[in-house]
Amino acid sequence: MNAYVTPVAGGAAVFAASPLVDFIRANRFDRPTLVLSREIVARNYRALKAGLGRADIHYAVKANPAREVIETLIAGGSRFDAASRGEIELCLSLGAQPGHISFGNTVKRASDIAFAHAAGITLFAADSEMELDKIAGHAPGAQVYIRLLVGATGADWPLSRKFGCAPERAVGLMDHAVSLGLAPVGLSFHVGSQTRRAGMWRDTLDQVAAVWAGARAAGHDLSLINIGGGFPAFYGENVDAPTEYAARVMQLVRARFGEVERIMAEPGRGLVAEAGVIACEVMLVSRKSDRDMHRWVYLDIGKFSGLAETIDEAIRYQFVTPRDGDAMGPCIMAGPSCDSADVLYEKRPVMLPTSLKAGDRVLIRNTGAYTSSYSSVGFNGFPPLDVVVI
């Protein structure tokens, strides 16, 4: 009955029941459009919160800064993690309390620190001396937590070494913070994007707990553990349900940190990915040569208009077409721009109906996170990904 719903294992039920599909079926869109559901955002928040218990959820605004998402989360009781002055201004303008916003980027412009301090924000991240110097200079007396660089986990997208200091530097940075009049209150880390199983947190938490014990032994009376993000969304491989997943992570946290005063979690993807579906269109289906095993399928959305997370084929989106009952064959997928790097999946082709053709509508599932905000301002003259919130 519903041509857009295919029997995909795991998560299919949620998709079939989604108000998103009904809305998309009932509407036409002139250009690629992300449709977001407030209802699913609110439901995901409640589900994660049920598992996280007394931990505070600080939504990672960067995952999707749509104002309706922020409003829905404020109404649900969420707090926020901001990457920039722009995100802080957004949250404040929609009614978030300054005390509920952390400035979690370890790379901050000095004037933005001053802005945050003046706005009443008191909690900042750092992983280096120079950042602590900037915080002390522009937010005197602030609380800081030190971000740790932790070893590789089983995450689908392990993080680079960009953020965090080596464990052996943490106590020195806390000493430096104290010498500057700052209050080093705790530690943060990131287990890696899209960590599909709660058990994958174990090794990382062990590493952090060792640093925690060392800092306390050195006289730092820590009160805050920030467990970051990593909460997964469904992209075709099974993931645990959010409440169960979060509860297991909290069990692992409690076993190592006991009754620590304050626990923060920063889900982004885990809160909003499944609240969005992109409606787009097939532009072209072709073969390069008569000997080609694969067809090329070109969509009207690509790496530079919302699907940036296909870089290195890291996130593998699920595609739904009106012809999914037909015979399937392997395809290389690409975006519409005149840019040879705008190829979505080539190393691991995607199975799509052999009958697919230009003009067919394609839905891309679970695209509520890290899509619209990555979109370019207008590369190749294509407008940014449109967003409709229902």
Sign of CA dihedral 15, 16, 17, 19: positive
Q: Are strands 328-334 and 295-299 parallel, antiparallel or unpaired?
A: parallel
d(CA 282, CA 158): 31
* 72 vs 337 by CB, closer to its own copies: 337
Residue with tokens 């009443």: 120
Q: Is 163 in the site for its own copies (CB under 8 A)?
A: yes
* 119 vs 308 by CB, closer to its own copies: 308
Using CB under 8 A, which of 16, 178, 260, 283 touches its own copies? 283
Q: Is 160 in the site for its own copies (CB under 8 A)?
A: yes
Q: Is 345 in the site for its own copies (CB under 8 A)?
A: no
* Closest to 11 in 3D by CA, of 231, 232, 216: 232
* Closest to 352 in 3D by CA, of 378, 317, 326, 334: 326
Give SS3 for 58: strand
Q: Residues 125 to 144: which contact its own copies by CB under 8 A?
A: 127-131, 134
* 61 vs 180 by CB, closer to its own copies: 61
* Helix boundaries (H) for 181-268: 202-217, 242-257
Number of residues that bind its own copies (CB under 8 A): 81
CB count in 10 Å sphere of residue 80: 26
Using CB under 8 A, which of 216, 219, 287, 326 touches its own copies? 287
Q: Is 60 in the site for its own copies (CB under 8 A)?
A: yes
Which residues, 6+ apart, have CB-to-CB distance to 250 below 8 Å? Answer: 51, 52, 53, 55, 263
Please, is 385 exposed, middle or buried when counting C-beta atoms within 10 Å of its C-beta (0-12, 13-18, 19+)?
buried
Using CB under 8 A, which of 373, 386, 388, 390 touches its own copies? 373
* 107 vs 260 by CB, closer to its own copies: 107
Q: Is 149 in the site for its own copies (CB under 8 A)?
A: yes
Q: Is 166 in the site for its own copies (CB under 8 A)?
A: yes
Q: Is 383 in the site for its own copies (CB under 8 A)?
A: yes
The minimum distance between CB 372 and its own copies, in angstroms, equals: 8
Using CB under 8 A, which of 9, 13, 26, 338 touches its own copies? 338
Q: Is 85 in the site for its own copies (CB under 8 A)?
A: yes
Q: Residues 204 to 263: which contact its own copies by CB under 8 A?
A: none
Q: Is 194 in the site for its own copies (CB under 8 A)?
A: no
